[in-house]
Amino acid sequence: MKIVVIGGTGLIGSKIVAILRQGGNEVVAASRRGGVNTVSGEGLKEAMAGAQVVIDVSNAPSSDRQAALEFFETSGRNILATETAARVRHHVALSIVGVNRVPDQGYYRAKIAQERLIKASNLPYTIIRSTQFLEFLGSIADASTDGGIVRLPLGLLQPIAADDVAAFVAEVAFAKPRNGIVEIAGPERAPFNEIVARYLKAIGDPRKVVKDPEARYFGGRLEEKSLVPLGEARLGRVYLEGWLRLSRKGA
Q: Does the pLDDT of residue 131 top 80, yes or no?
A: yes
Residue 237: how many other CB atoms lie within 10 Å:
12
Number of structural domains, the chain?
Answer: 1
Summarize the confidence of residues 200-206 as an average pLDDT. Answer: 95
Give the separation between CA 29 and CA 20, rounded to whole angstroms: 11
Q: Does the pLDDT of residue 250 top 70, yes or no?
A: no
Please give the span between the terminal C-alpha atoms of the chain, in angstroms, as a whole number.
Answer: 34
**Domain span including residue 193:** 2-250
The CATH code of the domain that includes 202 is: 3.40.50.720
Residue 103: per-residue pLDDT: 84
pLDDT grade, residue 129 (50/70/90)? very high
Summarize the confidence of residues 179-194 as an average pLDDT. Answer: 97
- CA distances (Å), 141 to each of 125, 138, 208, 211, in order? 34, 5, 10, 12
Task: Report pLDDT digits (tens) over 54-66.
Answer: 999 999 988 788 9
Residue 33: per-residue pLDDT: 87
Q: Does the pLDDT of residue 249 top 80, yes or no?
A: no
Q: What is the DSSP string of 2-50?
A: EEEEETTTSHHHHHHHHHHHHTT-EEEEE-GGGT--TTT-TTHHHHHTT
Return the percent helix, strand and coil in the chain, to nearest 5: 40, 20, 40
What's the mean pLDDT when you consider all of the chain? Answer: 95
pLDDT grade, residue 104 (50/70/90)? confident
Give the separation between CA 161 and CA 12, rounded to whole angstroms: 10
Q: Does the pLDDT of residue 251 top 70, yes or no?
A: no
